[in-house]
Amino acid sequence: GQNIDQPTEMTATEGAIVQINCTYQTSGFNGLFWYQQHAGEAPTFLSYNVLDGLEEKGRFSSFLSRSKGYSYLLLKELQMKDSASYLCAVRDAGSNYQLIWGAGTKLIIKP
Amino acid sequence: DAGITQSPRHKVTETGTPVTLRCHQTENHRYMYWYRQDPGHGLRLIHYSYGVKDTDKGEVSDGYSVSRSKTEDFLLTLESATSSQTSVYFCAISESVFRDLDGYTFGSGTRLTVV
C-alpha cells in the first residue's frame, strides 16, 4: 500500500541545522515534494526531487534516495520564522499521479 | 493579487444541511484540487479536476461532489453535512500534473465546522 512517514515533531535551536526525514512506500514513485505550512496558513512549495541526490535552494536542501524510499529536508542557519510544519508528499503513478501526503513534521525553533 | 481564493474562509453549519465551498483562480491553470486537512493526517484528496467538466474522485470522495463549469471556478459541495466533515478544506491549482518547478499553489483554506 501507500505510506508516508515523518516524525511528528522536532525541536531545534536558532542558528543551528536540522534534518527532517521522510520515508515512503508507494506503488509507482514519480517525484517527491516538500512543503512548508505555518500554523493557520496554506502550504507553500519548497522543493522537488525526482532523481537521487541533493537539491539545494538557499538555506534549504532536499535529498532523495529512491532505492531506500527515503528523503530528507535540511534546514541551515535556522531562524525563528522557520517554525512551521513541513509536509512530505510523493507523486504516485498508481494513484493517477496524484500526491500522497505525510502527516507533517512540526518544527519548533527555540532561541 | 492572490492567484487563488477560497470562500468562505470560515463556516459553521448544521448536520444534514448542504454546503458549497468555492475556489476561484486567476492563473488559468488546468488542474484544480480539493483537499481536507485533519490533525494527525496528511492532506487527503477529495476530488480533482483536469479541465472544464472533467473531474475525478480522490481517496476520500464519499459525501462530496464537485463541479467545474468554468476554468476559473471549482466548487465543492457537501451534500448533507456530517460532523465527520468538520475540517479545514484547501483548494490547490497546478498548471500540469508534471509541472514540478513550482509545485501546487494552495488557497488560504476554509475552516468548516459541522454542529
Q: Which residue of A has its CA nearest to B10?
A: A40
A103 to chain B: nearest residue by CA?
B42
Grid cell of A21 as nine digits:
526525514
State the smallest CA–CA distance between residue A41 and chain B in angstroms: 6
Question: Average of pLDDT values for B38-58?
Answer: 94
Of chain A residues 53-92, which have a CB less than 8 A from chain B? 87, 89, 91
Q: Give the CA distances from residue A57 to residues A43, A52, A68, B9, B37, in Å, rounded to whole numbers and listed in that order.
A: 18, 16, 23, 32, 27
Segment A22-45 shows an average pLDDT of 94
Q: What is the pLDDT, as a whole number, of residue A1?
A: 66
Interface of B with A (CB under 8 A): 40-45, 48, 56, 58-59, 90, 97-98, 100-109
Grid cell 484528496 is found at B45
A33 Cα to chain B: minimum distance (Å): 8
Q: What are phi and psi of A96, to 5 degrees?
A: 55, 35
Q: pLDDT category, A97, cuts 50, 70, 90?
A: confident
CB contact under 8 A, B43 and A89: yes
The answer on pLDDT for A33 being more than 90 is: yes
pLDDT at B1 over 60: no
Nearest to A31 among B90, B100, B107 (CB): B100
Which chain B residues have a beta carbon less than 8 Å from that of A95? 59
For residue B44, the chain A residues in CB contact (below 8 A) are 101
pLDDT on residue A94? 82
Tell me the pLDDT band of B98, cut-offs 50, 70 and 90.
low
Q: Give B68→chain A minimum CA distance, Å.
A: 19
- For chain A, the average pLDDT equals 95
Q: Report the alpha-carbon distance of residue B11 to residue B109 in Å, rounded.
A: 11
Question: Nearest-CA distance from A78 to chain B in Å?
Answer: 23
Residues B42, A33: C-beta atoms closer than 8 Å: no
**What integer pLDDT is reported at residue A27 of this predicted model?**
84
Which is it for the CA torsion A83, A70, B59, B100, positive or negative? positive
Tell me the C-alpha to C-alpha distance, in Å, between residue B112 and each of A34, A94, B2, B6, B39: 26, 31, 21, 12, 14
A-to-B residue pairs, Cβ atoms closer than 8 angstroms: 49
Mean pLDDT over B93-111 rounds to 83
